[in-house]
Amino acid sequence: MEGLEDILIPIVLFGTIALIIWLVVSYRHRSRADKQQTIRLALEKGAELTPELMKSISEPEPPKNKDLRSGLIWLSMGVGLALCGFAVPDPTGNALQGCLAGAAFPFSIGIAYIIMWRYGSLSERA
């Protein structure tokens, strides 16, 4: 029975990842198809498509603070990983070093997002 578990765990893991990706892609496809159907119906009924209407139907603009929120999430993940290293009872310190090394990546990504948020908002003001 142990051999079956060794096979099922990766299958379920990758199957779940594939299912999530498929759901996201199919939702986006269905959303675009619905928007196109709305535009077709409006044109068939003789409605005029103004730029304001097209903008409201098109993809919504991302929030202004999206980079800040993403940066804070990544920073929090990095800090959380670093704190896990302190919580592991390992007298050799290897667990701390490993967690700090792993925490460096999300922490750096968070810093990059915050820099993009800061300089992106400056360029919008100019």
pLDDT in tens, 60-96: 777 778 899 999 999 999 999 999 988 888 888 788 8
pTM: predicted TM-score of the whole model, two decimal places: 0.56
Contact 75, 103 (CB under 8 A): no
So what's the pLDDT on residue 30?
93
Domain spans of the chain?
Answer: 1-61, 62-120
Q: Express each pLDDT in 7-19 by its tens digit.
A: 888 899 899 999 9
Mean pLDDT, all residues of the chain: 86
Q: Give the pLDDT confidence score for residue 121 in this predicted structure.
A: 59
Whole-number pLDDT of residue 109: 96
| Furthest C-alpha separation in the chain | 76
Cα of 110 vs its chain's centroid, Å: 13
The CA distance from 14 to 58, in Å, is 33
